[in-house]
Amino acid sequence: MLKYAGLFFGLVSALGAQTIRDLTLDPQRAVDLPVSREITTVMFPGAITAVAGADMLIDSGKDAVEVEEGTPLRFHVTHAPGSNFILVRSLQPEATGRLTAIHDGAAYVIELRSVVANSVASAIFKRAAASTAVKVEAAPEPVRFSPRIGLSLLDRARAYPVLVKSLPKAV
């Protein structure tokens, strides 16, 4: 019995160490992404136009890339042109870096940091959910017609020809 409990806890800790995170696409917010020497996959909902970062080896995954000896590289980033994913791997312990991915004409910033344990195995970016219509139980209270509202409507009707001439695209 004790043998099964040890196996269960070992399996749970191994599965818990590699997490999969669902993230919402937001070009106004940087995403913190802990990566290790193992590969971390970053998925986008569509094709990624470009990937950029400083002190990173960024390759297409098809051709061999030559790097001069002694070049201080912090992360290895692989991105095949036109694909919807990026593969990231840490090359130095306790390294940090900023990776920028261009998707649908917007720049998404990913703050990479190297960790020994508890890295993210996969980060999946999803589009923000569109707000859905809400069914109203009762109709809204009708607006009571008053002389003030009537005069306001007449003023708007009189100003309409002027508005059409001065701002035709607004009408």
pTM summary value: 0.64
Cα–Cα distance, 148 to 85 (Å, whole number): 60
Q: Which residues pair with 85 in a beta bridge?
A: 43
In the chain, % of residues over pLDDT 90:
42
* Each residue's pLDDT tens digit, 49-93: 999 999 898 888 777 777 777 778 999 999 998 899 999 999 998
CATH number among 1.10.1200, 1.20.1740, 2.60.40, 1.10.3470, domain 17-126: 2.60.40
Q: Please name which of 95, 110, 115 lies closest in space to residue 38, comparing C-alpha atoms.
A: 115
Element spanning 86, H or E: strand 85-90
* Greatest CA separation for the chain: 87
7 pLDDT more than 70? no
What's the average model confidence in pLDDT over 16-40? 87
